[in-house]
Amino acid sequence: MKMTAIAGAAALAFAMASATVGFAEEAKKTLPNGTDITPANMENGRWYTEDGIPTYKLEEDGTIDFATFSGYRRYSAECHVCHGPDGEGSTYAPALKESVLRMDYYDYQEIVASGKQEVNTASNMVMPAFGTNRNVWCYVDDIYIYLLARGMNDLPRGRPAKRGDKTDEFTAQETSCMEG
């Protein structure tokens, strides 16, 4: 009887540990390119991964962090003309919500800053450089995380229904960049 109780307790402990591991794996978010985008810490009102890559945070009730909401606003103001509403793409330019899932964050930044040109017999794609446009560059990370949230299907099309509050740190960094 004592042996059965010990075996039962061991089985219960193993089941609880397995459930905990399963839950942790569900909470982790990984892009198709292998990049972990699980939010780890907040700095200047923005969420970052363990590796310092900007990411988004979605609460269980559907509330998206303010930086991602900011990304929606900036994307809608600056990017949708070519890339279509909500990162869906157009006949003129690719769907960025899909592109950010495959590309490295630093490649994304380089393309936004310096532009991109692919002109050949099969295509004529030219993206201008936005590195000196403060309306884009001051929010380049916000646009990136908005597109990540769209690409991961964590954020539906249109204006996000619920957003977190704008922090004082976000405001200070935004002011510094826009006035700098």
- Residue spans of the domains in the chain: they are 1-30, 32-179
* pLDDT tens across the length of the chain (180 residues): 444 444 444 444 444 444 444 334 447 889 988 899 999 999 999 999 999 999 999 999 999 999 999 999 999 999 988 898 998 888 888 889 999 999 999 999 999 999 988 877 777 778 889 989 999 999 999 999 999 999 999 999 999 999 999 999 999 999 999 997
Give 112-115 contacts, CB < 8 A, sequence gap 24+.
112/136, 112/137, 112/140, 112/143, 113/137, 113/140
Q: Which residues of 91-104 are buried (b: 16+ CB within 10 A; e: fewer)?
A: eebebbbbbbbebe
**Which DSSP category does 87 fall into?**
G
Q: With 0.75 as the threshold, say if the pTM is over it.
A: yes
| Single-letter amino acid, residue 82 | C
**CATH ID of 32-179, from 1.10.760, 2.30.29, 1.10.3930, 1.10.10:** 1.10.760
**CB neighbour list of residue 154: distance below 8 Å, 6 or more residues apart:** 56, 58
